[in-house]
Structure 1
Amino acid sequence: MPVPLKIAIVVALCLILGSACAAAVYVDSGASGKVHNGTSWATAYQTITQALDSLPDGGDIWVKTGVYHECLTMKPYTNLYGGFLGFETSTDQRYPGAFPTVISGWKMGRVIDIPVNGRAYIDGFTIRDGKSDKGAGIHCSTNSITTIINCRIENCEATGGGGGVFFDTYTQGQLNNCVIACNKAPQGGGLVVEYHSYPTMHNDVIINNYATSVGGGVYCPFHSGAWLENCTIAYNTADTSGGGIYAYYGGPETFIKCIIAFNSAPMGGGIYGGGGSTQATLSGCDWFSNVGGNMGGAITSLPAEAGNVFVDPMFLMPGCDEFHLSTSSQCGGIGAYPIDSAYAVDRIGVAKLLPDSNSVKLSNKIVSCVDGDITYVQEADRSTAIPVRGLTGCSTGKIITSLTGTLSTSRQTRTLTAASFTLSSATIYKPKPLGTRLQWLRSLTGVRTLTWGKVDSVSPTGFTLRDGDYTLDVRLANPGVGVGNYISVVGSCVLDGSFVGESVSSLNR
């Protein structure tokens, strides 16, 4: 085990154990009542900023699922937990992947700033829409020690470096089970690990990030000590060099059992060594189909007998944000998600096709409604639901923690018949349709579904539903709906992302 990892683990344990005796401060953006002092879910603060202001030196903050438009500066010692439903008495009761707590910077500033010498633990958040000079999603300042786990950092933009995450000089910490996606910066679109910084990263997916100069996914400048193990670095782009990774005077960064695939740059699509000889350790990784070459610059070949391979990793459904590996992949044990593994991050919207191509495994879904022998299950933040037969004891708002079933063979009325399922004792009393996003259903094209929203526009061939910032094009001739109507529609998603409707019903709002 590398020394930086040992230090990071000790620090993380100290943060967790040190907070075990301290009372948590609660945050719920929808908390009702006149008293908001953060001492319980019933009297929760309505913003994370209020909670931070109540803790001069830091402490534990529990944040209920929802969207929080804030830019945060952490206190010296802060443990920030997301993914709560508002009834929990322990962090072990959360489902942060299924019921996300979203912190959006609204492109008004950096989303989370860890102060100099700060100690922070961040678990269970989607961190998005940040904009700053560096570290627009999360900035770990000099000499800070930060643990980031079970988070998704996306759609952030830095004018300098580290669109998603920036580990500044002399920092330590962990970045585990995270997705860093669709961020942008001149250097290190996804993340930057600065001079003499030694964070360890395990089971992270770094995808679809963009650098206008170097290091589309990861940028490691002079004497960077980044340690990445079992990570997937894919579909990142840089305009100059290092589509996946840019290592300047490489060293002593380490990449072990990582998948570096489908990245792109004019030079060194996979990894580029800048500035001269490199000390980078590249062992047991898969290098495949990187445009501009797997290697470039000072890195011209991989170490002999280091166990590197050059095969298609065979991601299940990369277009649907699904980077598990097919059971036919030759990359077992490499990358963030081993073959047929449990989900390292129970990410929103994952529906896993099992090897027989007819069975499906779902996790952490909500019962949307029960209609006779059909139970509709949905994502917490998505206004679409899959019909399932064979579920018993369900009622609206119940959480199904796992469900395995078989799809019917009829493409016209394709439903899922449950073979086994597990119900949680918890209940969401009112599932909230927060978006008509159907990305998670595109892996199950042709499944008959129910979705709803407000009619935004109408044409002779169909109409558009809008729910907040999200829209869905529905193909249905002569639907008999008008702009402004709230409706539900039954149909199925097709390959181009649109929705073919069968019937519509009016909703009472």
Structure 2
Amino acid sequence: MPRYFVRAVFNILLLLQINVCFAAVYVNVNNPTPGAGTSWATAYNDLNAAFAAAPSGADIWVAQGTYYPTTGTDRTIAFNVLPMYVHVYGGFVGNETLLTQRDFRNHPTILSGDIGVKGDASDNSYSVVRFNAGANGSSTFDGFTIRDGNANYGYPGSTTPSEYNQGGGIELYSTVVSFYTYAYAQVLNCTFINNFAVYGGAYASYSTTGTIAFATAFNCVFKDNTAVVDGGAYATVSVNGDVVYTDLLNSVFINNKTINGGGSAISTYVDTNPNAVRVNVTNCVFYNNPLPLINSVLLNGAAVNRIWCSYSIFWNPTPYPDNSFISSGGVTYNTCDMYMATASSGNTNVDPLFVDAPAGNFHVSPCSPVIDYAGYAYYGAPWNTDFDGNPRLQGGSEDLGIYESTKTTFAAPTVSTPTLNYCEGATVTDDLSALVISPTGTLNWYDASNNALTGAPTPSTTAAATSIYYVSQSVGTGCESPKTQITVVVAAAPSTPLDPGLSYCMNATPADLDLSITKAAPTNTLIWYSAATGGTVLPATPVISTATAGSQYFYVSQKAGCESGIATVEVKVTKTDAPVTTDPAPVYCQGAAATPLDITGASLLWYTAATGGTGKSTIPTPSTTTTGSQDYYISQTLNGCESDRTVITVTVNNKPAAPTTTNTTLTYCVGVPAATLDATGTNLQWYTGATLLPAAPTPSTATAGTENYGVSQTVSGCESQQTAISVTVEAQLPAPDATGATYCLNDPAIALTATGNDLLWYTTDAGGVGSTEAPQPLTMSSGNTTYYVSQSNNGACESDRTAVVVTVNDLPQVSINTAGKPACRGTYVTLQASGAASYQWSPATGLSNAAVSGPLALMDNNISYTVTGTDINGCKATAQVNLQVNDNCGDYVMPTAFTPNGDGVNDLFHVVSYNVPKTFNMQIFNRYGGIVFASSDINTGWDGTQKGTPAPDGTYVYIIQINTSDGKVINKKGTVLLIR
């Protein structure tokens, strides 16, 4: 069936319902005194009650507020549109007399499926609103917010289509077997929010058993709805070949989704007859719905086109992948705008210029490319208006999307000079915006390839070229005018003159500068400047001066229409420096071998006079035959320029006598510091063999042996013969052998001994005066004392000192501990000694072992024990203990009162005894005979609490049964006073 036929059927049904009208029925959820609904004062406060009472063709006016299908928890109950051709309108305050006075956007009428526990979706109504075939014919639902439906019947166990798993917001349910009995839901100006279903999260048309359903959504918003299988916002479900026709116009789909990956916005689901379903999607906007947005599912048979999308916009915060919207299978896209790099055939991908899509404002700017983009959708009233109620076709063609706008155009900018001419290298101070005459908006700049530039370009003159730029202007709304072309022509300048590289010797005659410059063409004009940049033109060609050495700089360009760059011409006036010598006054001793004179330079010439004469290139070698001085003069020549002359003066002096010393033979012991050698002379130089020393040496006495030294003097640069000095170092004796001693405190000591000759005893390792008498150590205090001893050979070459350590150790600190237990007759007491390494007890009577630190003592009588402790150094000390026999060790004692206040004193009621019983049982009762505490551990006492709560002050009764360690049974009963 063609889609335009479907639209015609919709319009006929609209006329049928318009022609059947009755007086309005009023509904106000906030009316405390509901009546027959004939006025706002007698308005129903239950919408389902109004449906049940209203006649066919009635208008039902519903005031703002939130309405629930039921006050109970039956999820199958929905707002059931029962009357035929009923018109249901929301958005009233509750005092209107005309339909046109309502404002459903600012006074929302909310139909909520959140029955049962508020905020818990699991008990919400399956569908908020339900249309049934044969019951409502063609009915209108206009100006409502429909939310929180949860058509999850059977899910997740089953997704088979059923009455209660489709259309969480509205379910159009057609089940009557008759072509002439149909369900027709016209939904206008409604907002679907947060609805859930297995099919059609917000709105579903469900037709079964040979019936017909017609569904429309006009000027509706579908936001944040979810489906499990298909149709996050809307789904058509046809079972057994039933016919379902749908028109979705001027509607917005935002953030809808499916769980199993079906169409996040729209879907058709057909089981047998591919021709049973038609869905027209016209002038809609889809924003931020995941792919796939629209899906067509045919379970048995080949897919055919069942969904037509036209004049709609598919947009997203980020572009969709290419080929996301291709007409194939059961979906056709034609004349739609798609956010992707390459639009599919018959569609476009232009930016619609939404005002604020993330905030839900899908108006477009006045210059949007989607204005007047399409043909005409051929809908009659009221379908031929946009989302704001404005008529379609405000221009020559219909706009894409939900709004119809009038397109605004703007004139291209006017420029003062469409073509600019520059010389290559010229300075450009202004960008191209200076050419625009009285712009009326923001200027937009583009290069020759229409690539957008960040701002107005400044023409480049670095190279000869012709460049094209474009400029447009945009108003505050972002609309852009046509572009104006600007052409920039940069003409080539002659080449910059070359530096000829002029060079002159100082005082030479220079050439004319004009004649020294090579021009690009003979007719070009040379222009001389005072500086390379920022200078002024000179009135005449400058003249080279060679009076002083150095570089002179001149600045010149050439001109042939355009002027070249300015070249810097360097003229070098050379003064060759005199050659350099490292030794301008060499000195020789008479008869010494001389070397050729040394000087650094190029093309050297040697002269015998400061001026004049003829130079020779041979380097002279001075003669040392006679004393006196001789001058030599040298010049060098560089780049043809001879320098001034450098003088070298050679002096020949007499040779002096050798220096004198007071002692030419010296003797030292090993390790004894030696004195620095000395001699009498001028500019003394010291040697060991042929090695020159930096200063007068101090002989080393580290090892025995003989070292020979020599010393010379130098007068007037001439060195004398050497004077010999011999130094002998005799060996030192080794340190003597000696052994230290160890004593206990106050032991008698003997004098120390060592092996060696001529021994000397010291109290320090260095310095001091040695004693020939060996020291006798003192043992009155503990610690280490070090003595030192050396040997010598008749007092000469004393050896190093040997350290002799004497150690005096402390006596051990021996003590005895009896562990604090009473000495009960016939029992054992553990004696525990400490402070030593080994022990010996005396007497051994009654002891388990007299040679251990902790023997057991059998208590038959009073007795004293002495223990002798020996430490690891062999030092000994003693300790003593007196033991008294106790004949009362078996008593069991308990207090008569206790104070459990946490001060650490008398906080517990418990039994005290030195006997460890075999069994023990204690119970404590209050004055009512109730047990408050019980314990089978003699060491566990009562802390004055009962079940963790402090017991009250007063008297309590205790009963205690004891089986002592020797098998005796003791029963005790008494009272104890609890005081806080």
TM-score, normalization by structure 1: 0.58
Query: 1:72 aligns to what?
Result: 79
Question: Would you say the 8 A contact 2:296–2:306 is kept in 1?
Answer: no
Question: Would you say the 8 A contact 2:223–2:255 is kept in 1?
Answer: yes
* TM superposition shift of 1:289: 3.8
Alignment match of 1:257 (pick from 297, 306, 311): 311
Distance 1:156 1:214, change over 3 A: same
Output the CA distance in 1 between the equivalents of 2:323 and 2:264. Answer: 9
Output the CA distance in 2 between the equivalents of 1:262 and 1:330. Answer: 17
Query: 1:190 aligns to what?
Result: 233
Q: 1:475-499: per-residue Cα shift (whole Å, max 9, x none)?
A: xxxxxxxxxxxxxxxxxxxxxxxxx
Question: Would you say the 8 A contact 1:262–1:289 is kept in 2?
Answer: no
Query: 2:189 aligns to what?
Result: 150
Q: 1:141 aligns to what SS in structure 2?
A: strand
> Which residue type is aligned with residue 284 of structure 1?
T
Query: 1:27 aligns to what?
Result: 27
Tell me, yes or no, if structure 1 residue 209 matches structure 2 residue 256: yes
Question: Would you say the 8 A contact 2:28–2:45 is kept in 1?
Answer: yes
Query: 1:376 aligns to what?
Result: none
Higher strand share: 1
Output the CA distance in 2 between the equivalents of 1:311 and 1:156. Answer: 32
Larger relative contact order (Cα-Cα within 8 Å, sequence gap ≥ 6): 1
Q: 1:6 aligns to what SS in structure 2?
A: helix
Query: 2:93 aligns to what?
Result: 85
Distance 1:266 1:83, change over 3 A: closer
Output the CA distance in 2 between the equivalents of 1:210 and 1:39. Answer: 42
Distance 1:35 1:199, change over 3 A: closer
Alignment match of 2:335 (pick from 284, 289, 296): 284
Distance 1:332 1:267, change over 3 A: closer
Tell me, yes or no, if structure 1 residue 138 matches structure 2 residue 170: yes
> Which residue type is aligned with residue 285 of structure 1?
C
Tell me, yes or no, if structure 1 residue 98 matches structure 2 residue 98: no
Output the CA distance in 1 between the equivalents of 2:312 and 2:246. Answer: 16
Distance 1:35 1:260, change over 3 A: closer
> Which residue type is aligned with residue 214 of structure 2?
Q
Unaligned runs of at least 5 residues, structure 1 = 295-300, 336-340, 347-354, 357-509
Tell me, yes or no, if structure 1 residue 218 matches structure 2 residue 220: no
Output the CA distance in 2 between the equivalents of 1:191 and 1:269. Answer: 23
Unaligned runs of at least 5 residues, structure 2 = 70-77, 115-120, 152-164, 175-181, 298-302, 375-384, 391-406, 409-980
Question: Would you say the 8 A contact 2:133–2:184 is kept in 1?
Answer: no
Question: Would you say the 8 A contact 2:81–2:131 is kept in 1?
Answer: yes
Output the CA distance in 2 between the equivalents of 1:35 and 1:176. Answer: 32
* TM superposition shift of 1:122: 0.3
Q: 1:238-275: per-residue Cα shift (whole Å, max 9, x none)?
A: 5xxx1x211332523211111112289999984477xx
Alignment of 1:377-416 (within 5 A): none
Output the CA distance in 2 between the equivalents of 1:269 and 1:179. Answer: 27
Tell me, yes or no, if structure 1 residue 235 matches structure 2 residue 282: no
Q: 1:30 aligns to what SS in structure 2?
A: coil
Tell me, yes or no, if structure 1 residue 116 matches structure 2 residue 133: yes
> Which residue type is aligned with residue 75 of structure 1?
L
Output the CA distance in 2 between the equivalents of 1:333 and 1:167. Answer: 33
Alignment match of 1:161 (pick from 199, 206, 209): 199
Tell me, yes or no, if structure 1 residue 318 matches structure 2 residue 318: no
Query: 1:39 aligns to what?
Result: 38
> Which residue type is aligned with residue 79 of structure 1?
H
Output the CA distance in 1 between the equivalents of 2:173 and 2:217. Answer: 15
Give the number of the structure whose alpha-carbon radius of gyration is greater.
2
Q: 1:168 aligns to what SS in structure 2?
A: strand
Question: Would you say the 8 A contact 2:296–2:330 is kept in 1?
Answer: no
Output the CA distance in 1 between the equivalents of 2:386 and 2:7. Answer: 24
* TM superposition shift of 1:206: 1.2
* TM superposition shift of 1:93: 2.0
Output the CA distance in 1 between the equivalents of 2:258 and 2:67. Answer: 27
- Identity value in percent: 28
* TM superposition shift of 1:14: 1.8
Output the CA distance in 1 between the equivalents of 2:268 and 2:295. Answer: 6
Query: 2:16 aligns to what?
Result: 14
Q: 1:330-362: per-residue Cα shift (whole Å, max 9, x none)?
A: 222469xxxxx975279xxxxxxxx99xxxxxx
Query: 2:438 aligns to what?
Result: none
Output the CA distance in 1 between the equivalents of 2:44 and 2:324. Answer: 46
Question: Would you say the 8 A contact 1:237–1:265 is kept in 2?
Answer: no
Output the CA distance in 1 between the equivalents of 2:322 and 2:30. Answer: 48
Question: Would you say the 8 A contact 2:267–2:296 is kept in 1?
Answer: yes
Question: Would you say the 8 A contact 1:41–1:87 is kept in 2?
Answer: yes
Tell me, yes or no, if structure 1 residue 245 matches structure 2 residue 294: yes
Q: 1:445-478: per-residue Cα shift (whole Å, max 9, x none)?
A: xxxxxxxxxxxxxxxxxxxxxxxxxxxxxxxxxx
Question: Would you say the 8 A contact 2:320–2:339 is kept in 1?
Answer: no
Q: CA RMSD in A?
A: 3.1
Query: 2:50 aligns to what?
Result: 51
Output the CA distance in 1 between the equivalents of 2:19 and 2:143. Answer: 18
Query: 1:179 aligns to what?
Result: 221
Q: 2:50 aligns to what SS in structure 1?
A: helix
> Which residue type is aligned with residue 310 of structure 1?
N
Output the CA distance in 2 between the equivalents of 1:250 and 1:288. Answer: 26
Q: 1:53 aligns to what SS in structure 2?
A: helix
Distance 1:6 1:127, change over 3 A: same
Question: Would you say the 8 A contact 1:85–1:99 is kept in 2?
Answer: yes
> Which residue type is aligned with residue 290 of structure 2?
T
Distance 1:269 1:56, change over 3 A: farther
Output the CA distance in 2 between the equivalents of 1:250 and 1:162. Answer: 21
* TM superposition shift of 1:136: 0.5
Output the CA distance in 1 between the equivalents of 2:66 and 2:60. Answer: 16
Q: 1:237 aligns to what SS in structure 2?
A: coil
Number of equivalent positions: 321
> Which residue type is aligned with residue 17 of structure 1?
N
> Which residue type is aligned with residue 136 of structure 1?
G
Alignment of 1:409-488 (within 5 A): none
Distance 1:45 1:229, change over 3 A: same
Output the CA distance in 1 between the equivalents of 2:367 and 2:287. Answer: 19
Q: 2:348 aligns to what SS in structure 1?
A: coil
* TM superposition shift of 1:99: 1.5
> Which residue type is aligned with residue 344 of structure 1?
D
Q: 1:86 aligns to what SS in structure 2?
A: coil
> Which residue type is aligned with residue 67 of structure 2?
Y
Question: Would you say the 8 A contact 1:287–1:311 is kept in 2?
Answer: yes
Question: Would you say the 8 A contact 1:259–1:334 is kept in 2?
Answer: no
Output the CA distance in 2 between the equivalents of 1:318 and 1:231. Answer: 14
Query: 1:476 aligns to what?
Result: none
